[in-house]
Amino acid sequence: MIHVDRSRVPIPPLLASATVAGERAQAATFFASNPGTATLKSGQRFQERYEWNWPLLQEVRPALVDLFQNKCAFCESFEGKRNPLEVGHFRPVTEIVEESTPGAKSASTSAARSSVGYWWLAYDWENLYLMCRACSERSV
């Protein structure tokens, strides 16, 4: 992983804007009424999912391109036609599902434990990275 000095690039003003403050408040309200963890039967997923306003984060992309010098923060591959780099989160913000152990016999062990991610870090500058699709899928 590329080690970067975050102080080199100013924090994008978007992250301190009223728009993002509104998004944060909305997410906090949603997750306050949806417990962070739940035990679900295998294959089941949360019925309600929070609709993140991800297009908003495109605004911080230029700052991340500058910070990571147009390279994936994890594998250091350069941006290219076949390797688009995206705004991603180091700590996953969306749902984390730990699948049950394959071959588990009893009903209790076949339940998958699911929890929401680090939603409060969705608009946290320290948690925003530039990453390629392969690394992005690995981190979700």
Residues near Zn ion (CB under 5 A):
72, 74-75, 132, 135
CA-to-CA distance for 109 and 139, rounded, in angstroms?
Answer: 25
| Shortest Cβ 34–Zn ion spacing (Å) | 31
Contact (Cβ atoms closer than 8 angstroms) between residue 58 and residue 128: no
| Shortest Cβ 66–Zn ion spacing (Å) | 18
Cβ nearer to Zn ion, comparing 15 with 135 = 135
CA-to-CA distance for 133 and 122, rounded, in angstroms?
Answer: 18
Q: How far is CA 68 from CA 29, 75, 126, 132, in A?
A: 33, 11, 13, 12
CA nearest to 20, candidates 89, 126, 134, 123? 123
Cβ nearer to Zn ion, comparing 79 with 95 = 79
Rg (the chain; Cα; Å): 17
| Shortest Cβ 99–Zn ion spacing (Å) | 24
Cβ nearer to Zn ion, comparing 68 with 74 = 74
| Shortest Cβ 129–Zn ion spacing (Å) | 10
Cβ nearer to Zn ion, comparing 64 with 72 = 72
